Structure 1
Amino acid sequence: MPSFSLLAFAFLTLHFIFDHMALVRERRQSKLGLRLPEISDRRTRFPPTAPQQLKNTTNASTTSVADYETVQVLGHGNGGTVYKVVHKKTSNVFALKVVHANSDPVMRRQIFREMEILRRTDSPFVVKCHDIFEKPGGDIAILMEYMDVGTLDSLSKNTDGGIFTEHTLANVARQILNGLNYLHTHKIIHRDIKPANLLVNKNMDVKIADFGVSKIMYRTLEACNSYVGTCAYMSPERFDPDSYGANYNGYSGDIWSLGLTMLELYMGHFPLLPAGQKPDWAALMCAICFGEAPSLPEGVSEEFRSFIECCLQKDSGKRWTASQLLSHPFCRQPEN
């Protein structure tokens, strides 16, 4: 039977652990909640009525949403709806993202942030915004280019991941890195790179989308370690800046997320947890902060393995930049 001193020691150890966990949760859990399900998996909180009579707010044209015919609902999100629409005169197809006036205030702030960034960007590797509309009642609509396949997440699930060979992933990585390099050059940090936020079309053109939690770095040394984005793809320093933030660089968080994205597409499941296990905050924190950095299984090329290692350095200062990764041998493979 254990002695009293051993029992006391065990009790004190557990007490310390639980106190520490409580402190961590108090500091972070309110901001670390997992993101809500993707729009295709969630019913809207408000009636998905087609938008009407919205006026354009980005240029002097008289274009309005009345000029577009709704083809179908692509999905519902937190306080909004995404439609596939066709311009009545030209038959051009677009995606129309509508956020309702009575949606959650956080969602409203995110849509205004996304509008600001989309107005600033012009890259073939970032989803293009054609128009922004607003009506007096407060509904906001963003008219964007339509990517006919959907997201890399939906493509992976619909094809059981078999389409993502090393060669295909090299092309995917190259396009995402071109997009990140453009954003980072313009002092924009995405902060939520993941398969569900990367749009793809039938030509396998990949574009970065969803800037709701992104940040524009107005000052060179401005901090960017807030707990936003999807927890599963957060870098260690964003979970625990005290331990991993000594060489903190906000842009490198996007590179960690890219590495996890490439791993997930290749492996067919989220790489930090066993296949089929749903991520929760505690499991993710332990895996990202205390576990070994994830790696590829046996049988992959040295170039691919090296590329993943350059992305998933736990010390953010050792991660390669988007510009450096574009010159990595894995990304320099011939496209065909």
Structure 2
Amino acid sequence: MALIRQRRQLNLRLPLPEPSECRPCFSVPLLPTTADTNKSSFGAISANDLEKLQVLDHSNSGTVYKVNYKRTSTTYALKLVHSDSNNSTVCHQLFREMEILRHTDFPYVVRCHTIFKKSSGDIGILIEYMDSGILETLLKAQGTFSEPNLAHVARQVLKGLNYLYTNKIIHRNIKPANVLVNSNMEVKIANFSVSKILCMTSDPCNSYVGTCAYMSPERFDLDTYGGNYSGYAGDIWSLGLTLMELYMGHFPLLPPGQKPNWATLMYAICFGEPPSLPEGVSEEFRSFMKCCL
């Protein structure tokens, strides 16, 4: 066990924010309930101006639609979160995502155009529409990614993460389903519902949130790492698994076709052999994966 833990210590060569880059916490006021026009709390777009075209994603907390803005015939994605005052977790995650989206503006982070609260209590988050969906969908539709395509994806995601880290934002849920992509292979980091804004360098970042399959070893075994972990390094681990999955065509910690469960994943991440690439890949790719994992 000790050897495994020593082997899993991360040795990253990626620049991390300095303490002087610490920004104050953002503050997002509660959105006022609007009239029947459902006017946005900021911006000129209203819910009545949006025509729903199709459902892009659906969960217990809400639905994501492809919508048309009638005034300009521009296509957007609308994340409509159902009101649920009895679910504090959903509310907390929603306002955290709103907080981040309203204060970020970068080419490799999904852009939020407006946020509004409907009279029903539902909250709409209008973001840019990426016509190829998510990396997970693209993998299923087009098959595995070549090394040049992976390098293109990795470069953009790393630039997006560097921007977030400069603003003291840890994503905590990097995976193929949370990276949007368009037909020009432009990618953008999305879904900040479990992200964390570090107000001080001493802030802990050890909440057990996100998708366990993509969590780094120290998130399962906090005691070994002093009761805390680097959220920055955790995101890079998740990126490494994501890129390896895009190259191999299946989740790299388990055999193809095996359905993961929590216990299997925990054992594979904490005690199993590090995921390895097949023969024939470049030394650059192999070295990069070694840095990530």
State the TM-score bracket (shorter-chain normalisation).
0.7 to 0.9
1:247 offset after TM fit, Å? 8.1
Instruction: Decide which of 143, 150, 173 is 1:160's aligned counterpart.
Output: 143
For residues 66 and 158 of structure 1, the distance between their equivalents in structure 2, rounded to whole angstroms, comes to: 34
Which amino acid is 1:90 matched to? T
- The superposition leaves residues 137-158 of structure 1 with CA deviations (integer Å, 9 ceiling, x where unpaired) of 3110000000000000000011
CA contact (8 A) 1:237 1:245 kept: no
CA contact (8 A) 1:69 1:87 kept: yes
Alignment of 1:133-152 (within 5 A): 133-152=116-135
**Matched residue of 1:172: which SS?**
helix
For residues 248 and 80 of structure 1, the distance between their equivalents in structure 2, rounded to whole angstroms, comes to: 31
Q: Can you give the 5+ residue segments of structure 1 that lack an aligned partner in the other structure? A: 1-51, 313-336
For residues 212 and 66 of structure 2, the distance between their equivalents in structure 1, rounded to whole angstroms, comes to: 29
For residues 261 and 72 of structure 2, the distance between their equivalents in structure 1, rounded to whole angstroms, comes to: 47
For residues 228 and 92 of structure 2, the distance between their equivalents in structure 1, rounded to whole angstroms, comes to: 30
**Matched residue of 1:96: which SS?**
strand
**Matched residue of 1:213: which SS?**
coil
- The higher radius of gyration belongs to 1
Instruction: Decide which of 209, 229, 249 is 2:210's aligned counterpart.
Output: 229
Question: Compared with structure 1, are the counterparts of its residues 142 and 266 closer, same or farther at alpha carbon in structure 2 (3 Å cutoff)?
Answer: same
For residues 53 and 147 of structure 1, the distance between their equivalents in structure 2, rounded to whole angstroms, comes to: 27
Partner of 2:268: 287
CA contact (8 A) 1:81 1:97 kept: yes
Pair 1:100-2:92 in alignment: no
Moved more, 82-91 or 190-199: 82-91
**Matched residue of 1:66: which SS?**
helix
Instruction: Decide which of 189, 214, 221 is 2:195's aligned counterpart.
Output: 214
1:197 offset after TM fit, Å? 0.2
Partner of 2:96: 113
1:245 offset after TM fit, Å? 4.4
Which amino acid is 2:55 matched to? V
Question: Compared with structure 1, are the counterparts of its residues 247 and 295 closer, same or farther at alpha carbon in structure 2 (3 Å cutoff)?
Answer: farther
For residues 266 and 233 of structure 2, the distance between their equivalents in structure 1, rounded to whole angstroms, comes to: 18
Pair 1:91-2:73 in alignment: yes
Partner of 1:18: none
CA contact (8 A) 1:192 1:229 kept: yes
Instruction: Decide which of 49, 58, 63 is 2:42's aligned counterpart.
Output: 58
Which amino acid is 1:116 matched to? E
After superposing on structure 2, the runs of 4+ consecutive aligned residues of structure 1 that deviate more than 4 Å are none
1:246 offset after TM fit, Å? 7.4
Which amino acid is 1:58 matched to? F
For residues 263 and 73 of structure 1, the distance between their equivalents in structure 2, rounded to whole angstroms, comes to: 29
For residues 74 and 273 of structure 1, the distance between their equivalents in structure 2, rounded to whole angstroms, comes to: 28
User: Greater helix percent: which structure?
Assistant: 1
Question: Compared with structure 1, are the counterparts of its residues 85 and 295 closer, same or farther at alpha carbon in structure 2 (3 Å cutoff)?
Answer: same
1:248 offset after TM fit, Å? 3.2
Instruction: Decide which of 291, 305, 311 is 2:292's aligned counterpart.
Output: 311
CA contact (8 A) 2:180 2:187 kept: yes
1:132 offset after TM fit, Å? 0.1
1:249 offset after TM fit, Å? 1.8
Q: Can you give the 5+ residue segments of structure 2 that lack an aligned partner in the other structure? A: 1-35
Of all paired residues, the percent bearing the same amino acid is 67
CA contact (8 A) 1:127 1:144 kept: yes
**Relative contact order higher in (CA < 8 Å, ≥ 6 apart):** 2
**Matched residue of 2:102: which SS?**
helix
Question: Compared with structure 1, are the counterparts of its residues 68 and 136 closer, same or farther at alpha carbon in structure 2 (3 Å cutoff)?
Answer: closer
Aligned length: 257
Partner of 2:280: 299
Which amino acid is 1:75 matched to? D
CA contact (8 A) 1:72 1:84 kept: yes
Question: Compared with structure 1, are the counterparts of its residues 86 and 189 closer, same or farther at alpha carbon in structure 2 (3 Å cutoff)?
Answer: same
For residues 37 and 246 of structure 2, the distance between their equivalents in structure 1, rounded to whole angstroms, comes to: 41
Which amino acid is 2:83 matched to? A
- The superposition leaves residues 227-279 of structure 1 with CA deviations (integer Å, 9 ceiling, x where unpaired) of 10000000111111112447832211000000000110000000001111111
CA contact (8 A) 2:222 2:228 kept: no
For residues 248 and 65 of structure 1, the distance between their equivalents in structure 2, rounded to whole angstroms, comes to: 41
Partner of 2:107: 124
Alignment of 1:135-284 (within 5 A): 135-161=118-144, 164-245=145-226, 248-284=229-265
